[in-house]
């Protein structure tokens, strides 16, 4: 990792499968201590985080990584950034890969099916 004086800040929602994906990658890659984790576990905490992020993003989504004055919002982009800066390749992490190929894949399919049903309703 680079020698920044300020750690990147990772904003996550407690129930978010995309947030869990990033956290699991960082944990298994041994990088969780290289970020400051900001997690919302209640509607009040989520509202405060959203208010903090809204001035910097077109659309607030989670996870969001703040790197100084810049922000990243896609879980795959966040993981790729850490892998590029010296982290393990995601495909080399068996627990991470089991989550992505198993529960995450199923949750994503259900999310897409639900979105399609809402469009057709």
CATH number, domain with residue 109: 3.40.30.10
For the chain, the domain total comes to 1
Whole-number Å distance between alpha carbons of 22 and 96: 9
Residue 63 has pLDDT above 60, yes or no: yes
Tens-digit pLDDT profile for residues 23-61:
999 999 999 999 999 999 999 999 999 999 999 999 999
Q: Is residue 1 part of a domain?
A: no
Say what the pLDDT of residue 5 is. 61
Lowest mean pLDDT among 41-50, 82-91, 93-102: 82-91
pLDDT of 20 > 60? The answer is yes
- Decide if 86 is inside a domain: yes
Asked whether residue 103 is domain-assigned, the answer is yes
Please give the backbone phi and psi of residue 68, each rounded to the nearest 5 degrees, phi first. Answer: 65, -115
Residue among 39, 48, 37 at smallest CA distance from 10: 37
Question: 46: domain range?
Answer: 9-120
Report yes or no on 116 lying in a domain.
yes
What is the C-alpha to C-alpha distance for residues 60 and 54, in angstroms, rounded to an integer? 6
8 Å CB contact between 32 and 23: yes
Q: How confident is the model at residue 99 (pLDDT cuts 50, 70, 90)?
A: very high
Give percent of the chain above pLDDT 90: 83
Q: How many alpha carbons lie under 13 Å from residue 51 in its C-beta half-sphere?
A: 6
Q: Yes or no: say if 33 and 22 are a contact pair by the CB < 8 Å rule.
A: no
> Is the residue at 26 inside a domain?
yes
Given this model, what pLDDT does residue 4 score? Answer: 47
In a domain, 57, yes or no: yes
């Amino acid at each position: 990792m680079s020698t920044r004086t300020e750690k990147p800040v990772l904003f996550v929602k407690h129930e978010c499968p995309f947030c869990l994906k990033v956290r699991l990658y960082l944990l298994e890659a041994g990088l969780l201590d290289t970020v400051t984790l900001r997690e919302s576990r209640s509607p009040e905490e989520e509202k405060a985080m959203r208010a903090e992020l809204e001035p910097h993003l077109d659309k607030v989504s989670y996870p969001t990584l703040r790197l100084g004055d810049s922000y990243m919002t896609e879980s795959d982009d966040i993981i790729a950034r850490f892998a590029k800066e010296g982290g393990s390749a995601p495909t080399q992490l068996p627990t991470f890969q089991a989550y992505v190929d198993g529960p995450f894949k199923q949750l994503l399919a259900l999310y897409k099916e639900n979105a399609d049903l809402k469009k057709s309703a």
